[in-house]
Chains A and B, each alone.
Chain A
Amino acid sequence: MNGAWVTFKKELFAYLVSPVSWLIAVLFYLMRGYELSRLVAHFADNRLDQELLPTLSYGLTSTFLMVMLVPGILTMRCFAEERRTGSIETLLTAPVRDVDVVLGKWGAAAVFYGLLWLPSVLVLHVLEYGWFLDADLAFGPVFAAYLGMFLLAGLLLAFGCFASSLTDNVLLAALLTIIFCFGLLRLPNLVAGSVDVAGNYYLRELLDKLDVMRNFAEWFARGLIDTSQVVFYLGGIGFFLFLTGISLQSRRIA
């Protein structure tokens, strides 16, 4: 595991010194700050149930962009850039297992993604203790919501690593990931809307299980953690990291 840890540290450092990462953070918080202030004002004006606030903040455009665009941007360089510059050759000829490289890179992307969300905890603090609101936040749903977000992000980042290992074109890698994110989030919904699934039990169940957006609204955001969904995301993460490892190993196999 030494290789994974060393790769993780180096990759996390690369994220922390990359201007792109900071640009994402700045844009995200500018947008999110504006949206949250609007949302809070809306709640205050209309005397809505304060406990719904974390749930509703899920639906903000900034959340959507964080899930749709950011995984692709964060992971596009993982392997594509190494392939483009040729540093993949020194990396893969070092005495480190491919699986360690994959875990290190994905771990760094996941932790950095977590760091991007970290300041949003401050918003909870403001909501809980702010003088202008008398909210009594339920932290259970908040915790479940964060967990769900990280599981989903972990899956998208794992796919991003895989896409990045397929090409030496970083833009193509980002695009593939964004298409996947869009597909995962929107496709079940679109299919269910355009095909008559009422009579087809299996299709309906499948689409139901795959509908990430609805799962979030009905489970994680309400503080409900469904083991089958946790397994779904963890399995997806493992699956795509495995594919990434295979993609790296393929150059060693005749």
Chain B
Amino acid sequence: MIAVSDLTKKYGAFVAVDRLSFEVTRGEIVGFLGPNGAGKTTTIRVLTGYHPSTSGTATLAGFDVAKDSLSVRKNLGYLPQEVPIYPELRVVEYLRYRAALKGVPAKGRKLAVERAMDKAAIADVARKLVGNVSHGYRQRVGLADALVANPPILILDEPTSGMDPNQRLRIKQVVKDLAAEHTVLFSSHILAEVQDVSSRVIVIHRGRLRADGKPHELLAQGASSRVFVAARTGAQALAAALAPVPGLLAQASDGEALGIARAHCTFAPGGDPAAAVGAQLLAAGIAVCELRPDLPSLESWFHAITEGCEVETVR
């Protein structure tokens, strides 16, 4: 549904998006991740036809964004990062106006607006002036606007920014529910959200693609050579027992409490380090309390791939 190929966007000498390529297929929910200033919003603006690209192509629903912008926009619901307001309109009036602008026929307009308000859970502010609703609600008014014409593709730019945890949870649920009927590309710099909601993540940094895959796979790839172990023994005894495990590069003790010593071990890539550690401790007669691949936190993984150290760039 969305195909981006070698997309580059320059502002003068500054390269905001650098030869970016990715695809999103029908029914996918794809998280578009990157730190602030990574080029997410610029990419999205090119996809929505708001800005032209410098080079490269992008197609949505089979239409080229540069050559057939109107057809692209007919198939697209877009929630910008800052939801703009027409303070003089009520929420329901704003949505009716947007529905009309998007060509929803007059007959079905009332129903379409009600359905969009239901989905975005804003029925309780329908009669309020857009200028008077809170930031979180305004964001949801924007979401309802994106949904009102029931487009096949949705692009949401930081849909949960500035929301409280409850609102965030609700929006995440809304986005999850959208998967049945829509293809969704949504950007965020909040990782936990992306992991919960999306079937795939695309990470960009400084305008370049850094990672593209399922969230747990990306994490696992980065973590495959690290193991955490907790055993009923002393810290020194544990270190001594782990030393002969083949492929061990480094081990860091996590201290000892209530007779249980903990350690993080780093292994050379390949093999099954957790199994090797288990076998070694069993042979040494040490009771193992906990043994697991040491997944880096999402935050540290993200930090690593966007800052370009520790974890290899995965594709």
Contacts and interface: CB of A to CB of B under 8 A. Distances in A.
Contact of A90 (B49, B69, B70, B78): B78
Contact of A251 (B50, B53, B85, B97): B50
Interface in A94-144: 94-97
Interface in B87-135: 88-89, 97-98, 100-103
B102 A94 contact: yes
Interface in A239-253: 251-253
B49 A93 contact: yes
Given A3-B101, A90-B78, A95-B73, 10 more contacts: A2-B103, A10-B89, A86-B84, A88-B84, A89-B50, A89-B84, A90-B80, A96-B102, A251-B51, A252-B66
B48 interface: yes
Contact of B82 (A3, A9, A17, A86): A86
Nearest to B100: A6
A93 B101 contact: no
A246 to B, nearest CB: 15
Contact of B85 (A6, A17, A85, A89): A85
A254 interface: yes
5 contacts: A86-B82, A87-B84, A90-B80, A90-B142, A95-B102
A18 interface: yes
Contacts of B145: 90
Contacts of A3: 101
Contact of A6 (B52, B74, B84, B97): B97
A230 B182 CA distance: 52
A86 B80 CA distance: 9
Interface in A216-254: 251-254
Tell me what chain B mostly uses at the interface: helix, strand, loop, or mixed. loop
A177 interface: no
B76 interface: yes
Interface string B30-67: 00000000000000010011111110000000000010
Interface residues of A, number: 27
A6 B97 CA distance: 7
Contacts of A41: none
Nearest to A5: B100
Interface in A27-70: none
B89 to A, nearest CB: 8
Contacts of A252: 49-52, 66, 69
Contact of A93 (B50, B82, B83, B85): B50
A85 B84 contact: yes
Contacts of B54: 254
Contacts of B85: 85, 87
A112 to B, nearest CB: 14
B14 interface: no
A92 interface: yes
A241 to B, nearest CB: 19
Contacts of A95: 70, 73-74, 101-103
A22 interface: no
